[in-house]
Structure 1
Amino acid sequence: MNEIAAQLGQVGLPEPVSALAARRWDTIVVGGGHNGLTCAAYLARAGQSVLVLEARERLGGAATLERPFPDQRFVISPCAYVIGLLDETVIRELDLHRRGLEVYLADPQLWIPFDDGTAFAQWMDHERTEAGLRSLGVSPKDIAGYFAYEEMFDQMRIKLRKGRRDSWAGESPSRDELEEMLGGDAYMIDVLFRASIEEVLSEYVSDTRLRDALYGQGIIGTWAGPKDPGTAAVKLMHFIGEVEGHGAAWGYVKGGMGMVSFAIADAAREAGAVLAAGVPVGEVLPGEGVRLDDGTFIAARAVVSNADPKRLMTMVGDVPADYRRRIDEWDIRSPVVKFNAALDRLPSWNAAPGETFMARGVVDVISTLDEAQVAFERCAAGEPAVGFGEIYFQTSHDPSPAPEGKHLVSVFGQYAPYGMDWGARRGEVARQFIELIGRYAPDFEDCLISYEVLGAPDIEERVGLTGGHIFQGEVRPDQMWENRLTPRTPIPGVYLCGAATHPGGSVIALNGKNAAMAVIADMS
């Protein structure tokens, strides 16, 4: 474990603020999330003097580690849970495995219980998945359709990430270039730019159990229901990466997702970047540097914002009107609510009483596809309606973040709106989570020691993401690819490196590398 990881990212001040302000830096990075740290690492490796200023007392942004429960032996990542999109190039170039990154593949990749006591399991072993589908009584046609569905998305991944160029590295390809990368395949083009996840599922399978089991991958983190346009592309985005050489897969990080940020921070520091936490920036002065909340001015040739673009607009004065308008219109509506808990034991599921194998993978608890659409519509009308939860049991692979014999569970849930009265209704949302999980694991509530519910306003307050949107903005097609923000802004000497930039949200790190390459090119 590197030193930053041992401190859970609480690096403090490396020297007095007055000493930091006495230097003129090549680049200041505002925000110490994983993308800001990645940007700093690449800039420092290129020989720049780099200062990272993080407002919170710990590094990592949404991918950090905290102790939110009365029993401080439980350590949890509050908002980021599993790894699947962290770029392999960044892992290799920053030597993250040497710095403590250790990954366990989730298997089953998905396990989804049904009300009748059966369950769908998507294993790393396709033959095992097929055997499970046969035992469910799924027709041969739908079994073939299911595998064709997954293969279609995987072929899109290969075409977009493994061809002549990686569509995620550097500037986004144009729509014409993306269509060419997909070989002009009209169906794939429709999936990338328009289709709903419900449409695509219906094209491949008729069994309602499979449609209900699989729609969640098209809505996760998204202000949409499964019947809404663009949700098929959300499924693609979440399965366009690879883990430990396995394409379209997800896994757990030893110690929790904060260890990703801390490994990147170690690379940045080793390259010469200076990391400072507990130092909020109040103003960005283009071409000059930044002014801290306490009034201290620190000079820099360039400023890179890992803070989300709406937050950046509050820190910079003179912005071209069309750019400010674009940021004002940037869609950050979030339906996401997080349920993190310490458990006395793992729950027992109706579909597999007394078994714990599913906890080594990813568990989805669901309502039907039609019910999920209604839940989104209720959320859009201002009402909480938690009808989908993706559940992660960190301690099934890695017991280190909990006391011996105890467990951690995190749930990525939907739907609950930002604008409701969270003070009055937080308990209601917690109850919806407990009842949804208890529908399939009746003893879940009895397993709880402590829990927290984080709605979008809580994520905004804790992590600093405007609107609480964990992807710094919607990831449906109208805000992806060439419609995503670019590292270069029209503000002289000011750049973006966060999830609002191409290639999008999640723990990817290419956003940070892409920004660093833009800064280096512009300063050359």
Structure 2
Amino acid sequence: MTTFGRDVYDDVIVGGGHNGLVAAAYLARAGRSVLVLERLGNTGGAAISSRPFVGVDARLSRYSYLVSLLPDKIVRDLELSFAVRRRTVSSYTPTERDGRPGGLLVGGGEERTRASFARLTGSDREYDSWRAFYETTGRVARKVFPTLTEPLPTRAELRTRIDDEAAWRMLFEEPLGQAVERHFDDDLVRGVVLTDGLIGTFADAHDPSLAQNRCFLYHVIGGGTGDWDVPVGGMGALTDALAAAATKAGAEIATGHEVLRIDTDGVNPAEVVFRTATGEGRVVGRTVLVNASPKALAELLGEPPAEDPATAPEGAQLKVNMLLRRLPRLRDTAVDPREAFGGTFHIAEGYEQLARAYAEAAAGELPSVPPSEIYCHSLADPTILGPELVEQGYQTLTLFGLHTPARLFGHDNQQAREVLLTATLAQLDAHLAEPLTDCLAFDADGRPCIEAKTPLDLERELRLPGGHIFHRDLSWPHADGGGGRWGVETAHRNVLLCGAGAIRGGGVSGVPGHNAAMAVLGR
């Protein structure tokens, strides 16, 4: 049994992912005794950096990889040594029309973007619609984003704060597909817009659940701008800074401690039972904050899961990490590969392609034309590569595939992963002037530097339920008949949820960790 600094803590935090570390730092800085128990041998959860390729000095953001929802307030409050870099290009989407390769480049200045739209569509109309659409989402972002670290507003309060009935209806009430089809005519442009509603979310553009709307909203409000930035030093730089901040403030962090059970009557201090390599132990916390999924929380409390088994969390993404000796040449010679891959490189993400991929997956088949998107971290931040790799021109690529729900991998995860990876890379190769495999680097054992992870892989490695990167479908950022004052409260007064499955959780934000700490301190 592990011996800690005390028998009873003010706060015991289950899980040392980034949200748990945010909560630990805030609470310890407030003078409270804090203990973090982490199952793995390191903190960080999904927000880590690692060297996945044997003998290669490349430290990749292995699971989560871009930052948008992390408020500057948290960075300032906790005095974190952490920075992000803005990407000069937002996105590039290759296409072929009339037998000629081309593409849509968004970024590099207004005139350049307008010219790219004009080449694609033959007029300025689609670009004008693009600007008007994102001016609307920008106004909503500036109103909504600051509320994420405030007490949870009611739906009526948030609607009043937004003060734009057309925007409210577009984002909160009607399926996203209606707005996309109303604003845009071009299939490719429609698809680029829709993708922000499908990251880690398996839904059709017209899904009546509006899961796609909630996903889209979180992807366009980050920082009040919707920009997705590159973490300098990789995602692990953030969680390393958070762990340092928590430790400096006096929090204790114990890795290799798997929590098995939380015993509480909701009033008296709770007992947390854990397991280590040497046996079981117990520790008492006046408050317990759980940085895990709602499903895991229910299991720890010995309660039935809140979700209906028919709607249990299910991830829907393929995550691929690669290291290249050089970036591949493009068939579209009008764009520099460094620009194309520096933003988000959309592949097979036309509007009709996305609809077809969803229909195939919903019918139980791997998408025949898998949609995905790629970006290159090392173009904006070469510090994740060793000096020799930088000098030789090596680059990283991160691919995120859509519409691949966990159910498609249950029969044979390895085979399905290989089939899907092959089909996905074939879609990329269709827009390259050379096969991607010709550019891949090799590790010390002579194997190509590429790894792919399905939802089932993420469930096994990180205990994400069903491989769902948000722990469950994203919530609206307002009260909806539950969630308490901060969106982290549970049925037990002394147990709080501080993970991505909390209201206003999801993504690398630290918001649930901040809000759980505020809920504790507000008492």
Query: TM-score w.r.t. structure 2 length?
Result: 0.88
2:498 — aligned with what?
Answer: 497
Mapped to 2, the partners of 1:252 and 1:126 lie a distance apart of: 22
Report the CA distance shift for 1:492/1:156 in structure 2 as closer, same or farther (over 3 A): closer
Mapped to 1, the partners of 2:420 and 2:310 lie a distance apart of: 29
1:81 equivalent in alignment to 2:59? no
Do 1:168 and 1:502's aligned partners in 2 also have CA atoms closer than 8 Å? no
1:190 equivalent in alignment to 2:169? yes
Do 2:117 and 2:126's aligned partners in 1 also have CA atoms closer than 8 Å? no
Give the residue type in structure 1 aligned to 2:371.
F
Give the residue type in structure 2 aligned to 1:519.
V
1:398 equivalent in alignment to 2:396? no
1:335 — aligned with what?
Answer: 316
Report the CA distance shift for 1:434/1:326 in structure 2 as closer, same or farther (over 3 A): closer
Return the match for 2:155 from 135, 160, 175: 175
Do 1:382 and 1:417's aligned partners in 2 also have CA atoms closer than 8 Å? no
Mapped to 2, the partners of 1:261 and 1:191 lie a distance apart of: 36
1:258 equivalent in alignment to 2:236? yes
1:355 — aligned with what?
Answer: 337
Report the CA distance shift for 1:401/1:69 in structure 2 as closer, same or farther (over 3 A): same
2:460 — aligned with what?
Answer: 461
CA-CA distance at 1:140 after TM superposition = 2.5
Mapped to 2, the partners of 1:83 and 1:325 lie a distance apart of: 30
Mapped to 2, the partners of 1:94 and 1:40 lie a distance apart of: 11
1:200 — aligned with what?
Answer: 179
CA-CA distance at 1:124 after TM superposition = 5.7
Do 1:339 and 1:433's aligned partners in 2 also have CA atoms closer than 8 Å? no
CA-CA distance at 1:207 after TM superposition = 2.3
1:376 — aligned with what?
Answer: 358
Mapped to 2, the partners of 1:254 and 1:189 lie a distance apart of: 35
- 1:178-216 residue CA offsets vs partner (Å, 9 max, x unmatched): 221121x33222223233332212221222231133221
CA-CA distance at 1:336 after TM superposition = 1.1
- Aligned pairs for 1:85-484 (under 5 A) are 85-96=69-80, 99=81, 101-116=82-97, 117-123=101-107, 125-161=109-145, 166-183=146-163, 185-229=164-208, 230=210, 231-242=212-223, 247-286=225-264, 287-293=269-275, 294-317=279-302, 319=303, 324-326=305-307, 331-352=312-333, 355-385=337-367, 387-402=370-385, 403-404=389-390, 405-419=393-407, 420=409, 421-441=412-432, 442-448=434-440, 449-475=448-474, 477=476, 482=480
- 1:96-146 residue CA offsets vs partner (Å, 9 max, x unmatched): 2xx2x1211112111111124211122163233123223334423222111
Report the CA distance shift for 1:468/1:373 in structure 2 as closer, same or farther (over 3 A): same
Do 1:489 and 1:495's aligned partners in 2 also have CA atoms closer than 8 Å? yes
CA-CA distance at 1:87 after TM superposition = 0.8
Report the CA distance shift for 1:492/1:114 in structure 2 as closer, same or farther (over 3 A): same
Mapped to 1, the partners of 2:289 and 2:310 lie a distance apart of: 21
Report the CA distance shift for 1:73/1:443 in structure 2 as closer, same or farther (over 3 A): same
- 1:357-390 residue CA offsets vs partner (Å, 9 max, x unmatched): 2232221212421221221122223322262212
CA-CA distance at 1:265 after TM superposition = 1.4
Mapped to 1, the partners of 2:141 and 2:107 lie a distance apart of: 19
Mapped to 2, the partners of 1:351 and 1:495 lie a distance apart of: 52
Do 1:340 and 1:411's aligned partners in 2 also have CA atoms closer than 8 Å? yes
- 1:395-445 residue CA offsets vs partner (Å, 9 max, x unmatched): 112223233332211111112221222133221011022112112224212
Mapped to 2, the partners of 1:176 and 1:388 lie a distance apart of: 37
Report the CA distance shift for 1:445/1:501 in structure 2 as closer, same or farther (over 3 A): same
CA-CA distance at 1:354 after TM superposition = 5.9
Structure 2: gaps spanning 5 or more residues: 441-447
Report the secondary structure of 2:299's partner residue. helix
Give the residue type in structure 1 aligned to 2:274.
L
- The size of the alignment, in residue pairs, is 490
Give the residue type in structure 2 aligned to 1:68.
P
Identical-pair percentage? 29
Return the match for 1:71 from 55, 66, 77: 55
Mapped to 2, the partners of 1:240 and 1:356 lie a distance apart of: 27
CA-CA distance at 1:394 after TM superposition = 1.1
Give the residue type in structure 2 aligned to 1:397.
A
Give the residue type in structure 2 aligned to 1:305.
V
Mapped to 2, the partners of 1:344 and 1:380 lie a distance apart of: 37
Report the secondary structure of 2:147's partner residue. coil
CA-CA distance at 1:476 after TM superposition = 6.2
Mapped to 2, the partners of 1:384 and 1:57 lie a distance apart of: 35
Give the residue type in structure 2 aligned to 1:90.
I
Report the CA distance shift for 1:506/1:388 in structure 2 as closer, same or farther (over 3 A): same
CA-CA distance at 1:496 after TM superposition = 0.4
Mapped to 1, the partners of 2:457 and 2:70 lie a distance apart of: 25
CA-CA distance at 1:291 after TM superposition = 0.8
Mapped to 1, the partners of 2:25 and 2:469 lie a distance apart of: 23
Give the residue type in structure 2 aligned to 1:446.
D
- 1:319-339 residue CA offsets vs partner (Å, 9 max, x unmatched): 4x7xx4358676512211111
Between stretches 23-32 and 362-371, larger displacement belongs to 362-371
Return the match for 2:46 from 48, 54, 62: 62
2:444 — aligned with what?
Answer: none
Do 1:21 and 1:296's aligned partners in 2 also have CA atoms closer than 8 Å? no
Mapped to 2, the partners of 1:484 and 1:396 lie a distance apart of: 43
Report the secondary structure of 1:313's partner residue. helix
Do 2:202 and 2:405's aligned partners in 1 also have CA atoms closer than 8 Å? no
Do 1:77 and 1:257's aligned partners in 2 also have CA atoms closer than 8 Å? yes
Mapped to 1, the partners of 2:216 and 2:154 lie a distance apart of: 20
- 1:448-472 residue CA offsets vs partner (Å, 9 max, x unmatched): 2321111111111111211111111
Do 1:222 and 1:476's aligned partners in 2 also have CA atoms closer than 8 Å? no
Mapped to 1, the partners of 2:168 and 2:312 lie a distance apart of: 23
- RMSD over aligned CA atoms reads 2.2
Structure 1: gaps spanning 5 or more residues: 1-16
Report the CA distance shift for 1:233/1:312 in structure 2 as closer, same or farther (over 3 A): closer
Mapped to 1, the partners of 2:65 and 2:37 lie a distance apart of: 24
